Amino acid sequence: MSDQAYKSSLAYHEQSPAGKISLMPTKPLRNSADLSLAYTPGVAGAVLNIAKNPDDAYKYTSKGNLIAVISNGTAVLGLGNRGALASKPVMEGKAVLFKRFAGIDAIDIEINSTDPAEIIRTIELISPTFGGINLEDIKAPECMEIERALIGRLDIPVFHDDQHGTAVVVSAGLHNAANVAGKDLRNLRIVLNGAGSAGLAIANMLLAMGCDKEQLLLCDSKGVIYEGRNDLNSFKTPFARKTDLRTLADALRGADVFIGISVAGALTGSMLASMAKDPIVFAMANPMPEMLPSDAWKTRDDVIMATGRSDFPNQVNNLLCFPFLFRGALDTRAKSINQAMKVAASEALAALAREPVPQDVLAAYGIDDASFGRDYLLPKPFDHRLLPTIAPAVAKAAMESGVARVKVDLKEYEKKMERSAEELAKG
């Protein structure tokens, strides 16, 4: 971060009132009659009904539109372990994004612990307050352990965005990149560099999207994940391949796709040169990618490139997923966010990028044109069509897969999301 950007960030956050979120009442409180309804004695009616029927919490409280954004600060953006309190600006930011893009209320909760069992139990104890749990910036492999335990214990959606939000957007982008390259997603030779939580989630998502497991090679900091390696944890072992390939360079020879969730500079010019025709490169290390697009284009003029940065084409941005995925999950009171819902979100996101881009979206980004192709594989975050496109697709998948507790009329729901998107865009 430049000195000027650093100063601008601090000035932005310390404007009065400090931080980025506040609470606003949703009912009038103008006189003693209002007060008696909002608190004692009138609130007793809601209390008694919820005690008799817990589902009434969705009827009488904010639970159905409330997400907990939770971190312990052990993996804050690209800044590493900065502690629970230092993660608060990021979690507040996440809460703002939920509200701005999907109308979801979110409260940030920073847990001052690195003990997975302690974190799991803390979240379990506070879970009745919320309609869903969004885990964020917790280091691997603890984040996977925490998420897996909570999914087993809670009856509300639990979603680690660093894993699954990334996976949804990457798979959507790859689907479209394969289309542009004239290649079949099911036959792609894919090399995924980085076998942490996000990398493993991407791998699982690609398989769910139809990619061939025998064509997928994972690499970590020690090279190819192959059968017989004795240092693999339980999360990596299922992806061990029977192969003689040992290094990233070995794996990339003739490969169609490089997906990087690793470190700056991991992809070299010679590695890229060895890949198949129209190579697809998703270099998502932040703030510096595995290879800069400018260097990639010098090496290959046929490369199809995406990064995690907004200053290059095809930004892989989790914002394209998590607000809208949670919207569909909350509105069907889904018990979980399952693979079917994630696949539905990915497919809807990919399809939207192939639609003509409205003029107001172009104006929001100060550009004259954007159309599906090598430099436009994914929609822009301020595309107002994201909400009415993705949330209904997720709701439909929730209902069809059996995790929804309420049913929605999809045509009416899509219209409702269109109206919501318009209102949210007005601020």
- Alpha-carbon distance 26 to 379, whole Å? 33
- Alpha-carbon distance 109 to 9, whole Å? 22
Whether residue 352 contacts residue 406, with contact meaning beta carbons closer than 8 Å, is answered with no
Amino acid identity for residue 175 in this structure: H
**Hey, what are 201's tokens?**
């989630």
Q: Residue 349: which of 200, 173, 148 has the closest Cα? A: 173
Rama region for 211: left / alpha / beta (φ>0; ψ in -120 to 50; rest): beta
- Alpha-carbon distance 337 to 393, whole Å? 13
Cα angle 401-404-409, degrees, rounded to a multiple of 5: 100
Catalytic residues, by residue number, are: 39, 94
Element (H, E) at 163: helix 161-181
Whether residue 154 contacts residue 129, with contact meaning beta carbons closer than 8 Å, is answered with no
**Hey, what are 135's tokens?**
């885990």
Whether residue 358 contacts residue 365, with contact meaning beta carbons closer than 8 Å, is answered with no
- Alpha-carbon distance 422 to 93, whole Å? 21
Alpha helices in 282-334 (DSSP H): 293-299, 322-331
Cα angle 28-32-38, degrees, rounded to a multiple of 5: 50
End-to-end C-alpha distance for the chain, whole angstroms: 29
Alpha helices in 303-358 (DSSP H): 322-331, 339-353
Look at the block and give the residue holding tokens 């979980």: 336
Rama region for 368: left / alpha / beta (φ>0; ψ in -120 to 50; rest): alpha
Peptide linkage before 313 cis (omega within 30 of 0): no
**Hey, what are 84's tokens?**
């629970």
- Alpha-carbon distance 320 to 377, whole Å? 12
3-state secondary structure of 158: strand
